């Protein structure tokens, strides 16, 4: 499809094996100058492995990587590799205590640092590309978006002709995503090749010229996006039409959102205030009834995650009250909140979701060791595995066995471990914060369905705090936060995406901007 003689990056017949799993098999991928190629696939399809190989961090077992027709540098010779291709990883690789200039030239080929020169060259890159970040600023003071720019600038300063963006929008707000797209277009129009990896198919359609789909380590499709529909793409990724997504929403609508107001609510939050760097709360009140799924959404700084954490006891609050089934939950005591029946699916699974080197079953049952242990407090690995099995099976969690360390699982399966850990203790209330972030389409439907069924079947209350509007399909009600206050509430599913977006911006339906009072 693209002229073969000019491919800037050319991967042919690449195989990569990790232990007994074949992560990649015979994958061909080529990117030409000025092209933006999307790379999509489910969790575990091999995207991360391709990133590792293209970044020169791992050597392929078979096959070759060539840059502009010549052989790639030795694997591990990171500095020379970066002259061709640079990766902006999903998790920031910027050293927070160094200045922007130092980070831009971190690990560069120069033996001695020429401070003035370094700052001048950083300023030059920033100016040439129209980025507005000072070379002297300490990176700790930058926003997520700015950190990403520093990483892009790092690639450009080294003269890399290809930039790999791995899930670049995962932590960005809508406006920032728009600005990122402008920057990507700017890159491609000046001849830089971009490999764009994302779970968000609409982004791929918006920004990419071509898309390459991986499934089970094989390339199943490469085509210009103009020739594809979203359904084509999903079918290629999943291998079948994902019925689960439809089923989840159907199940949601089938169960009547009955007059739950009369029942005693599971969760009562009254006038909750909290000051958190991630977004403060300025007096939030809400109720969640048994069997009810309530969504909370808003911009990143609106306090959505803070609200979830405060209710789950993972973070303290300054004022107001959280009650579960009439019992007051002490501020910031996660263990007490759990005893009161609050299950918690934390936002950042790598940081809070599991213990990486412990097994799947042990992680999945971490919340119920008290129940599994005998009188002496002893736990049998077998009873742990038995307790974990039904939940992990219901979530279609794929692992080599209950003892496999969670570290070895793909991102989506790791998230399932975190969800399993919560569901396994039959919580009366589940607080889930962005539970589908970084999870592929099919797993996403499954996770949402499991939350919905915890509500419909087991009568738990679910508070779904998310900035992912498509997750809200399982909700009975959606509360929109703006600057730490309840801005509005949508009570009638299905929720209109555009109306939700407008509401999160703090704009009332008739179009007039309304300043939420402080």
Partner 1 sequence: MISNQAPDGSATTASTPGTGAAMLPRGTLLAGRLRTTNIGVLREVALLPVLVLLIVVGAVVSPVFLTVTNIAGIGQQISALGVVVVGESLILLIGGMDLSLESTFGLAPMIAAWLILPVSAFGSGAQISPYLGLLVLLAVGAAVGLVNGVLIVKGRLNGFIVTLGMTIVLAGLQNGIVKAQTLFNLPKAFGYLGSAYFGQVPVSLVVTAIIFVLVGLFLRYHRTGRAIYAVGGNAAAARAAGIKVERVKIGVYIAGSMLAAVGGLMEAGRVSAVTGQQGYGEGIIFSVFAAAVIGGVSLKGGRGNMVGAASGVILLGVVQNILDLANVSSYWIEAIDGAVILFALFLARIVGGESSAEEK
Residues 415-444 that bind partner 1 (CB under 8 A): 421, 442-443
Query: Do residues 198 and 211 lie in contact, with contact meaning Cβ atoms separated by under 8 Å?
Result: no
Residue 380 touching partner 1 (CB under 8 A): yes
CB 468 within 8 A of CB 436: yes
10 Å Cβ neighbour count for 387? 21
238 touching partner 1, by CB under 8 A? yes
Torsion of CA 356, 357, 361, 363, to 10 degrees: -40
Taking the complex as a whole, the smallest distance from the CB of residue 393 to partner 1 amounts, in Å, to 4
User: Looking at the DSSP assignment, which residues form a beta bridge with residue 463?
Assistant: 294, 431
Q: Using CB under 8 A, which residues numbered 119 to 178 contact partner 1?
A: none
> To the nearest whole angstrom, how small is the minimum distance from the Cβ of residue 471 to partner 1?
17
Selected range binding partner 1 among 156-164, 236-244, 269-277, 494-502, rule: CB under 8 A: 236-244
For the chain, the distance separating the N- and C-terminal CA atoms, rounded to the nearest angstrom, is 55
Q: Which is nearer to partner 1, 120 or 400 (CB)?
A: 400
Q: Is 395 in the site for partner 1 (CB under 8 A)?
A: yes
- Quote the least distance from Cβ 345 to partner 1, whole Å: 9
Residue 1 CB, nearest distance to partner 1 (Å)? 8
Are the CB atoms for 281 and 317 separated by under 8 Å?
A: yes
To the nearest whole angstrom, how small is the minimum distance from the Cβ of residue 71 to partner 1?
A: 27
Cα of 330 vs its chain's centroid, Å: 30
Least distance between partner 1 and beta carbon 273 (Å): 23
The span from the CA of 236 to the CA of 204, in Å, is 14
One residue of 61, 352, 458, 505 binding partner 1 per CB under 8 A = 352
Residue 303 exposed, middle or buried by CB count within 10 Å (0-12, 13-18, 19+): buried
Among 378, 509, 513, 517, binds partner 1 (CB under 8 A): 378
Q: Which residue has the tokens 């299950």?
A: 343
Question: What is the Cα–Cα distance from 445 to 246, expressed in whole angstroms?
Answer: 8
Residues near 154 by Cβ (< 8 Å), separated by ≥ 6?
A: 86, 103, 104, 105, 106
Should residue 356 be labelled a site residue for partner 1 when binding is judged by CB under 8 A?
Answer: yes
Residue 57 CA to its chain's centroid (Å): 23
User: Is the CB of 146 or the CB of 365 nearer to partner 1?
Assistant: 365
Could you give the strand order of the β-sheet that contains 210-215, starting from the edge strand earlier in sequence?
Answer: 85-88, 162-166, 193-197, 36-41, 210-215, 218-224
Give the C-alpha separation, 176 to 184, whole Å: 12
Measured from the CB atom, the residue of 102 and 440 that comes closer to partner 1 is 440
> Closest approach of Cβ 78 to partner 1, in Å?
16
Site for partner 1 contains 366 (CB under 8 A): yes
Q: Judged by CB under 8 A, which of 8, 314, 324, 432 binds partner 1?
A: 314
Rounded-to-integer distance, Cα 431 and Cα 465, Å: 7
Stretch in the footprint of partner 1 (CB under 8 A) among 145-153, 288-296, 376-384, 505-513? 376-384
Single residue of 93, 172, 251, 398 touching partner 1 by CB under 8 A: 398
Q: Does 281 bind partner 1 (CB under 8 A)?
A: no
Q: What whole-number distance in Å separates Cα of residue 27 and Cα of residue 14?
A: 5
Among 244, 296, 324, 474, binds partner 1 (CB under 8 A): 244
Closest CA to 173 of 304, 295, 317: 304
Q: Contact with partner 1 (CB under 8 A): which of 87, 392, 434, 436? A: 392
Q: Which is nearer to partner 1, 257 or 404 (CB)?
A: 404
Decide if residue 369 touches partner 1 (CB under 8 A).
yes
Per rule CB under 8 A, is residue 76 in the interface with partner 1?
no
Footprint of partner 1 on 330-349 (CB under 8 A) = 334-335, 337-339, 344, 346
Minimum distance from residue 343 beta carbon to partner 1 (Å):
9
Count interface residues toward partner 1 (CB under 8 A).
71
Distances (CA, A) of 466 to 164, 303, 327, 420: 27, 11, 26, 19
* Nearer CB in complex with partner 1: 109/328: 328
Q: Among residues 315 and 485, whose Cβ is nearest to partner 1?
A: 315
Q: Which are the contacts of 112, defined by CB distance < 8 A and separation ≥ 6?
A: none
How far apart (Å, rounded) are the C-alpha atoms in residues 277 and 468? 21
CA distance 129 to 436: 34
Pairing of strands 485-490, 477-482: antiparallel
Closer of 122 and 276 to partner 1 (Cβ): 276
CB distance 314 to 342 below 8 Å: no
The only residue of 146, 367, 466, 504 in contact with partner 1, by rule CB under 8 A = 367
- 11-70: which residues touch partner 1 (CB under 8 A)? 19-20, 42, 44
Q: Which residues contact 17 (CB under 8 A, 6 or more apart)?
A: 23, 61
- Positions in 435-494 near partner 1 (CB under 8 A): 442-443, 445-446
Which one of residues 12, 92, 137, 232 is an interface residue with partner 1 (CB under 8 A)? 232
| Of 31-39, 123-131, 271-279, 378-386: span binding partner 1 (CB under 8 A) | 378-386
Tell me if 218 contacts partner 1 by CB under 8 A.
yes
Segment lying near partner 1 (by CB under 8 A), choices 138-146, 160-168, 240-248, 265-273: 240-248
């Amino acid at each position: 499809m693209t002229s073969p003689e000019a491919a800037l990056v050319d991967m042919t017949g690449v195989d990569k094996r990790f232990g007994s799993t074949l992560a990649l098999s015979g994958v061909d991928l080529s990117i030409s100058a000025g092209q933006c190629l999307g790379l999509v696939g489910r969790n575990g399809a091999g995207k991360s492995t391709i990133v590792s190989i293209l970044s020169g961090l791992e050597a392929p077992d078979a096959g070759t990587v060539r840059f502009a027709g010549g052989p790639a540098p030795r694997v591990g010779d990171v500095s020379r590799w970066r002259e061709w291709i640079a990766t902006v990883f999903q998790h920031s690789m910027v050293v927070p205590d160094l200045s922007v200039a130092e980070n831009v030239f971190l690990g560069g080929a120069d033996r001695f640092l020429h401070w003035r020169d370094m700052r001048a060259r950083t300023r030059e890159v920033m100016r040439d590309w129209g980025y507005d970040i000072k070379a002297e600023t300490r990176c700790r003071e930058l926003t997520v978006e700015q950190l990403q720019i520093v990483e892009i600038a790092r690639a450009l300063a080294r003269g890399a002709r290809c930039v790999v963006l791995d899930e670049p929008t995962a932590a960005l707000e809508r406006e920032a995503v728009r600005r990122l797209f402008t920057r990507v277009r700017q890159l491609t129009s000046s001849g830089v090749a971009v490999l764009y990896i994302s779970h968000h198919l609409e982004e791929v359609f918006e920004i990419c010229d071509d898309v390459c789909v991986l499934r089970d380590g094989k390339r199943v499709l490469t085509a210009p996006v103009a020739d594809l529909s979203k359904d084509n793409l999903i079918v290629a990724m999943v291998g079948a039409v994902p019925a689960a997504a439809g089923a989840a929403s159907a199940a949601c609508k089938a169960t009547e959102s009955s007059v739950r107001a009369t029942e005693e609510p599971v969760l009562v939050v009254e006038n909750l205030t909290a000051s958190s760097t991630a977004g403060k709360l300025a007096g939030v009140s809400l109720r969640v009834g048994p069997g009810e799924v309530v969504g909370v959404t808003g911009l990143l700084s609106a306090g959505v995650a803070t609200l979830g954490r405060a209710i789950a006891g993972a973070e303290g609050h300054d004022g107001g009250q959280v009650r579960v089934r009439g019992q007051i939950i002490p501020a910031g005591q996660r263990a007490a909140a759990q005893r009161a029946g609050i299950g918690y699916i934390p936002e950042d699974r790598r940081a809070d979701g599991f213990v990486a080197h412990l097994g799947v079953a042990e992680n999945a049952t971490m919340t119920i060791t008290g129940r599994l242990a005998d009188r002496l407090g002893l736990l049998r690995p077998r009873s742990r595995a038995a307790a974990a099995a039904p939940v992990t099976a219901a979530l279609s969690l794929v692992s080599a066995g209950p003892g496999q360390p969670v570290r070895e699982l793909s991102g989506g399966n790791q998230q399932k471990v975190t969800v399993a850990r919560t569901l396994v203790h039959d919580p009366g209330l589940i607080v889930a914060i962005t539970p589908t972030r970084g999870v592929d389409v099919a797993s996403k439907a499954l996770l949402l369905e499991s939350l919905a069924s915890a509500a419909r079947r087991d009568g738990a209350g679910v508070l779904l705090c998310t900035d992912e509007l498509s997750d809200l399909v399982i909700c009975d009600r959606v509360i929109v936060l703006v600057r730490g206050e309840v801005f509005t509430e949508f009570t009638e599913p299905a929720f209109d995406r555009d109306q939700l977006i407008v509401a999160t911006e703090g704009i009332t339906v008739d179009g007039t901007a309304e300043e939420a009072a402080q």
